[in-house]
Amino acid sequence: MAKLGIPHRSRTADEADTQTTDSPTARHAQIDERRPVDRTVTDDPADERVVDRPVAEKTVVERPVPVEEPAPRWVRVSAFATLGLIVGLVALAATLTGLLAPVGVALGVVGGAISAGGLVGASRRGVTGHSVALLGLLASIAAIALGVLAIAGYLPWLDSRTDEVSRLRDWLDARLPWMKHW
């Protein structure tokens, strides 16, 4: 390190045996030997005169046109998923009436097929609707299961010989007398 002109600064455990090299003092002498610079300011009339320069041909600098990003596209929900949800909910409502349980089973099958198509359609890029299609599929499966149980007679409160809508209307008329006029 001393050969490169860099002073040796690290010390070992034996400070008595260690030799240190200090930086040379000649650097300060070099600075002192320089001549002082004259910094007086004079007023020169040449500083105030205007010089006309010949005008060259004006160059037109074209700025790059910023590339506009395309507007964000709206995400589309799969039409089959939405239709499957609607048909599945109608099938479930028809099954819960009791009287329309066979119709609810048939609509449940159709709604399940449409919802499955909605799941396939929602897997494409730019198309959403996975949850909508799954809800439609769930409603269709529930309509099929409840309809089959109602037709087979396993649900006494929900069979094809019972009209749950008229029973609900009679119950509401008994509890709320003002609804008889609707």
- Is 88 buried (19+), middle (13-18) or exposed (0-12) by CB count in 10 A? buried
Q: Hunting for tokens 């007679």 — which residue is that? A: 153
The stretch 39-60 carries a mean pLDDT of 65
Highest mean pLDDT among 37-41, 107-111, 128-132, 157-161: 107-111
| Contact yes or no for 127/78 (Cβ under 8 A) | yes
Least confident range from 70-79, 86-95, 133-142: namely: 70-79
pTM of the model: 0.53
Q: Which of 73, 87, 72, 74 is nearest to 118 (CA)?
A: 87
Cα-only R_g, the chain: 47
Local confidence band at 44 (pLDDT 50, 70, 90 cut-offs):
low
Does pLDDT of 53 surpass 60? yes
The stretch 118-139 carries a mean pLDDT of 93
